[in-house]
């Protein structure tokens, strides 16, 4: 089989984004554009993948890590000049080289496979992935001869009136015979409106040498969208959002309002889970089957078990078990571990806390830096007083303990197994197992005293 290589162009600043963040690092559904491209290209299985870096080189490198090799383009003199930077790694190789722009985040492995097949079947030296655009403004146009054969690509800025009417665009994804690519790159000039070395010029150069150049037109323009500004970024985000949602729906997840549900590329959701409107699921979240998430819920980097319900709440970087009921209006902060059958009710904030099996904090509590055992009941308004302004301290509440309403547990402190804390107590010493602890002022009733204030 012919060897396959890939070059991803990611050295541009992205002036039209008007941003301090380098273009290819702008996220689409939570993942940087260039990472989307690298992930899709990697699945094509290439021998070598080279990313051309320039603006933000270090940042792009640390994003992609060792998923790619790198070639530095110190000055951005155009897309042909960018590909030439990969010569030290690729020039001598025999095979097919796929070139993809780092700003086309919607391109899929399937489409690249089809492009490669077409290329191999036609024995072409170059094949352009093209698409028909309703509005081709800004894209390079594919100029075909009278027989319908590809002649060349003209950039929008260089195109004449009649060329601008062409709706078939260059998507910026190509495959080339590797040897012919690097030979013809040397012949590209920068004699054009932008004074840049254009990669698409390689097409005309090969054509004039009598080589076969072809185009593979995808019916899916959406997939080839190039992101040059924030408007296109929002379009890419929308297309990706609906694509991700559709994948989950076809896998058996109910998404009630796909337009108002935002799920990251890498999230996993089990069958028969229902996601309600206004829900944002980000990062590496993994939600099991038969859950109900939302409405209006934000979940980031969480692992959630089966049959769990989370309504109008926020959960970050935590582990949540099976049959847990959270919300409405709860906040699960990082490093929390919520075991099975726990109930976290309205206006409860949990931070870096373990909640044992079947425990409950149903209303208005702050439980931070805590280890809560199994079957513990935390009454309304309970607070773990974990911070003295300098350090954080641990509160332990052992199995079966009952914390009365409006208690303050001043950490470090332990409430033993099966103990009771009376409502309104401020606990600053350990409570032994099975004890009842009352720590509040005694009540005094002064008979008929109210008359004095009337």
Nearest approach in angstroms of CB 231 to ligand UD1 is: 14
**439/25 Cα distance (integer angstroms):** 56
Asked if the bond preceding 328 is cis, omega within 30° of 0, the reply is yes
Nearest approach in angstroms of CB 54 to ligand UD1 is: 6
The contacts of residue 242 (CB under 8 Å, 6+ apart) are 258, 259
Rounded (10°) CA dihedral 262, 267, 272, 278:
-20
Q: Beta strands 292-293 and 274-275: pairing type?
A: parallel
Q: Binding of ligand UD1 at residue 153 (CB under 6 A)? A: yes
Residues in binding contact with ligand UD1, number by CB under 6 A: 30
Indicate the DSSP class of residue 430: -
How many Å from the N-terminal Cα to the C-terminal Cα in the chain? Answer: 98
User: What residues pair up with 176 in beta bridges, in sequence order?
Assistant: 97, 126
Task: Choose which of 14, 103, 218, 397 interacts with Ca ion (CB under 5 A).
Answer: 103
Instruction: Go through the chain and tell me how many residues it has.
Output: 454
* Nearest CA-CA partner of 372 in 409, 424, 423, 328: 409
Q: Of 221 and 420, which has the nearer Cβ to Ca ion? A: 221
Helices (H) and strands (E) in the chain, counts: 9, 37
Tokens standing for 393?
């301290």
Window contacting Ca ion (CB under 5 A); options: 102-110, 190-198, 252-260, 401-409: 102-110
Binding pattern to ligand UD1, positions 187-206, x when CB under 6 A? Answer: -----------xxx------
Nearest approach in angstroms of CB 122 to ligand UD1 is: 21
Nearest approach in angstroms of CB 127 to ligand UD1 is: 15
Nearest approach in angstroms of CB 210 to ligand UD1 is: 23
Q: Binding of ligand UD1 at residue 170 (CB under 6 A)? A: yes
Q: Of 12 and 327, which has the nearer Cβ to Ca ion? A: 12
Chain mean position to CA 5: 26
Q: Which helix (H) or strand (E) holds 152?
A: strand 150-154
Q: Binding of ligand UD1 at residue 171 (CB under 6 A)? A: yes
Binding pattern to ligand UD1, positions 208-237, x when CB under 6 A? Answer: ------------------x-x---------
Q: Which of residues 213-272 bind Ca ion (CB under 5 A)?
A: 226, 228
Q: Binding of ligand UD1 at residue 10 (CB under 6 A)? A: yes
Angle (CA) 409-412-413 rounded to 5° is 55
**8/323 Cα distance (integer angstroms):** 45
Task: Choose which of 44, 77, 394, 423 interacts with ligand UD1 (CB under 6 A).
Answer: 77
- Partner from Ca ion, ligand UD1, none binding residue 30, C-beta < 5-8 Å depending on class: none
Phi, psi angle pair for 344, to nearest 5°: -120, 110
Q: Is 118 a residue of the active site?
A: no
What letters, b where the CB count within 10 A reaches 16 and e where it falls short, cover 318-352? bbbbbbbbbbebbbbbeebbbbbbbbbbbbbbbbb
Rounded (10°) CA dihedral 324, 280, 109, 136:
160
Binding pattern to Ca ion, positions 168-207, x when CB under 5 A? Answer: ----------------------------------------
Q: Binding of Ca ion at residue 398 (CB under 5 A)? A: no
Q: Which three-class secondary structure state does DSSP give residue 37?
A: helix
Nearest approach in angstroms of CB 166 to ligand UD1 is: 11
Q: Binding of ligand UD1 at residue 12 (CB under 6 A)? A: yes
Window contacting ligand UD1 (CB under 6 A); options: 6-14, 258-266, 334-342, 439-447: 6-14
* Nearest CA-CA partner of 289 in 276, 308, 274, 270: 270
Window contacting ligand UD1 (CB under 6 A); options: 5-13, 302-310, 393-401, 421-429: 5-13
Nearest approach in angstroms of CB 72 to ligand UD1 is: 10
Q: Binding of ligand UD1 at residue 81 (CB under 6 A)? A: yes
Catalytic annotation, residues: 363
Chain positions contacting ligand UD1, by CB under 6 A: 9-12, 24, 52, 73, 76-79, 81-82, 101-104, 139-140, 153, 155, 169-172, 198-200, 226, 228
- Write out the residues near Ca ion by the rule CB under 5 A: 103, 226, 228
């Amino acid at each position: 089989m012919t060897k396959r290589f890939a070059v991803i162009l990611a050295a541009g600043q992205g002036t039209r984004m008007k941003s301090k963040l380098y273009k290819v690092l702008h996220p689409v559904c939570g993942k940087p554009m260039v990472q989307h491209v690298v992930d899709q290209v990697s699945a094509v299985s290439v021998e070598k993948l080279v990313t051309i870096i320039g603006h933000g080189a270090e940042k792009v490198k640390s994003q992609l890590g060792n998923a790619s090799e790198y070639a530095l383009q110190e000055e951005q003199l155009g897309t042909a000049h960018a590909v030439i930077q990969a010569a030290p790694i690729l020039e001598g190789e025999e095979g097919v080289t796929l070139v993809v722009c780092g700003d086309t985040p919607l391109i899929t492995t399937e489409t690249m496979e089809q492009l490669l097949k077409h290329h191999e079947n036609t024995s072409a030296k170059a094949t352009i992935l093209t698409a028909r655009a309703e509005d081709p403004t800004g894209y390079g146009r594919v100029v075909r001869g009278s027989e319908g054969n590809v002649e060349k690509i003209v950039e929008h800025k260089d195109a004449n009136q009649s060329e601008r009417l062409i709706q078939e665009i260059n998507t910026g994804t190509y495959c080339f015979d590797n040897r012919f690519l690097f030979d013809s790159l040397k012949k590209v000039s920068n004699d054009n409106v932008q004074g840049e070395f254009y990669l698409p010029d390689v097409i005309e150069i090969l054509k004039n040498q009598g080589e076969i150049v072809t185009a593979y037109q995808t019916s899916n323009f959406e997939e080839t969208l190039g992101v040059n500004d924030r408007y296109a970024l929002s379009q890419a985000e929308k297309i990706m959002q609906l694509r991700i949602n559709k994948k989950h729906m076809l896998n058996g997840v109910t998404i009630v309002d796909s337009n108002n549900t935002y799920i990251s590329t890498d999230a996993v959701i089990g069958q028969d889970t229902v996601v309600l409107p206004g829900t944002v699921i980000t990062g590496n979240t993994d939600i099991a089957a038969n859950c109900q998430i939302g409405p209006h819920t934000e979940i980031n980097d969480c692992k959630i078990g089966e049959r769990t319900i989370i309504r109008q709440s926020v959960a970050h970087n935590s582990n949540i078990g099976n049959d847990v009921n959270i919300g409405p209006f709860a906040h699960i902060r990082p490093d929390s571990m919520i075991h099975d059958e726990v109930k976290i009710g309205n206006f409860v904030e949990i931070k870096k806390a373990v909640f044992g099996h079947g425990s409950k904090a149903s209303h208005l509590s702050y439980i931070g830096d805590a280890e809560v055992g199994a079957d513990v009941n935390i009454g309304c308004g309970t607070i773990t007083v974990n911070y003295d302004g300098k350090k954080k301290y641990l509160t332990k509440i052992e199995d079966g303990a009952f914390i009365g309403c409006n208690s303050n547990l001043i950490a470090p402190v332990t409430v033993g197994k099966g103990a009771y804390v009376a409502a309104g107590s401020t606990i600053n010493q350990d409570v032994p197992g099975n004890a009842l602890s009352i720590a509040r002022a005694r009540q005094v009733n002064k008979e008929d005293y109210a008359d004095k204030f009337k």
